[in-house]
Structure 1
């Protein structure tokens, strides 16, 4: 069976969502301000037990967004990698962007990442710099200082370290069609393994130095289970 043809210059923004009703409206508000408007949002509700679904539907009714929203509620919790992979399979875009449900994108995020990938056909995936902020205090931003750029990225991953913020990535959909999604074998390091999968088949990746993403720090965020830094 052939893979369906992906929509040219169209972006699928995949948002794994688990009990994110407190934050998902801010996430969607950020997408509604994007300067590049040829995209869809795919929200994969990973068996939430809160009002995430009602919150999204209420937001859609109030805002009537210009972009389509696909809301997929999974019958049970599959975990981060499972929710991402479902979103990737549902994606129609030539490009796939990841977005955590509790974070916010800069209005020019999608435009600048898409422009970079268009201008650099040798690059398969690009992340961005970001700033972390404590929940409820968006104005108190701390720029990230652990990312790497260009050729340094491959060296950092070869050392077993991490230098790309997963919530910021955009990659070519055809790579997912060839390589598949993140593993479910390594709980807490799915994002690391996904990047390594690109590097292992000699695909090039990079980061944009501009802050194009805002990472919310709060007690219930997933990354706090695994490490204490704003790189979830």
Structure 2
């Protein structure tokens, strides 16, 4: 089965992380993509450009590099990338993450076995700097009904491991501006339009989080983003309005907590540590 891998790169990426990412999606995969679309979201600098050129020499025409004249942000960059993907199935990947060696093999098999599904991801292990220390599971529900219920409270897919049908995403208008929630916004529109979705129970990817990223997502701008999320849920009629308003207040309250407290809540209640 043919499929495209879609990534967006911007100048703050670490060249070592990018190199590890390419190794995981090309050298180490049991099943390889027949197309990799890499959007350069503005100028990325000489070091990253050299890394991209090196992998272009290794991979050949399978790697399509699309430079944008200036930085537009992840959502807009991905929308541009979708236009350049020639396959119906698109697999997302972030340029600092690492796929398991059987990620594509498992996702291709799932697509072939479930032709009604248009969007799905899988489980993800998070780590800071060293993949050998990955022991925090970012878990998402597996069945269609569980996902619909979960989506009322939290994002039901791991964006960095997601696969979706190109024409469905384009038909829904692609990614839309929504601070740090472009993916959640899109998934709600997919679910709200009654498309079939799922998740694999398998870990498909190691995600680099680092430096308290989640704890920093706080403040007034994030509360505005929560309000946009509330309005979308009401528009799509995915949630009882009273419950949706209550959830908005709770989520907004968390955005006002000190970063260290927010980080502890995140790590204690929203992630599962895996003992080695």
8 Å Cα contact 2:123-2:139 kept in structure 1: no
TM superposition shift of 1:22: 3.5
Matches of residues 71-150 of structure 1 in structure 2 within 5 Å?
71-135=65-129, 137-150=130-143
- Which residues of structure 2 form unaligned runs of 5+? 219-262, 271-276
Compute the TM-score of the two structures, normalised by the length of structure 2. Answer: 0.72
8 Å Cα contact 1:117-1:126 kept in structure 2: no
Matches of residues 11-30 of structure 1 in structure 2 within 5 Å?
11-19=3-11, 20=13, 21-30=15-24
* Post-superposition CA distance 1:3-28 (Å, at most 9, x none): xxxxxx31111001112233111110
TM superposition shift of 1:124: 0.8
TM superposition shift of 1:178: 1.9
**Runs of 4 or more above 3 Å deviation:** 227-231
Counterpart of 2:54 (choices 47, 58, 61) is 58
TM superposition shift of 1:219: 3.6
Counterpart of 1:215 (choices 199, 207, 217) is 207
- Which residues of structure 1 form unaligned runs of 5+? 1-8
Q: Which has the higher strand share?
A: 1
Counterpart of 2:167 (choices 174, 187, 192) is 174
Report the counterpart of residue 195 of structure 2 in structure 1. Answer: 203
Compute the TM-score of the two structures, normalised by the length of structure 1. Answer: 0.85
The CA distance in 2 between the partners of 1:201 and 1:80, in whole Å, is: 24
The CA distance in 1 between the partners of 2:149 and 2:184, in whole Å, is: 14
- Aligned residue-pair number: 217
Report the counterpart of residue 217 of structure 2 in structure 1. Answer: 226
8 Å Cα contact 1:38-1:67 kept in structure 2: no
Counterpart of 1:189 (choices 181, 191, 194) is 181
Single out whichever of 189-198 and 40-49 deviates more from structure 2: 40-49
Closer/same/farther in 2, CA of residues 48 and 214 from structure 1, 3 Å limit: farther
Q: Which has the higher helix share?
A: 2
TM superposition shift of 1:66: 6.6
SS in 1 for 2:198: strand
Counterpart of 1:35 (choices 30, 34, 38) is 30
8 Å Cα contact 1:41-1:67 kept in structure 2: no
8 Å Cα contact 2:9-2:44 kept in structure 1: no
Closer/same/farther in 2, CA of residues 56 and 220 from structure 1, 3 Å limit: farther
Closer/same/farther in 2, CA of residues 212 and 146 from structure 1, 3 Å limit: closer
Structure number with the bigger relative contact order (C-alpha 8 A, sep ≥ 6) is 1
TM superposition shift of 1:218: 2.7
SS in 2 for 1:131: strand
The CA distance in 2 between the partners of 1:47 and 1:165, in whole Å, is: 25
The CA distance in 1 between the partners of 2:25 and 2:138, in whole Å, is: 25
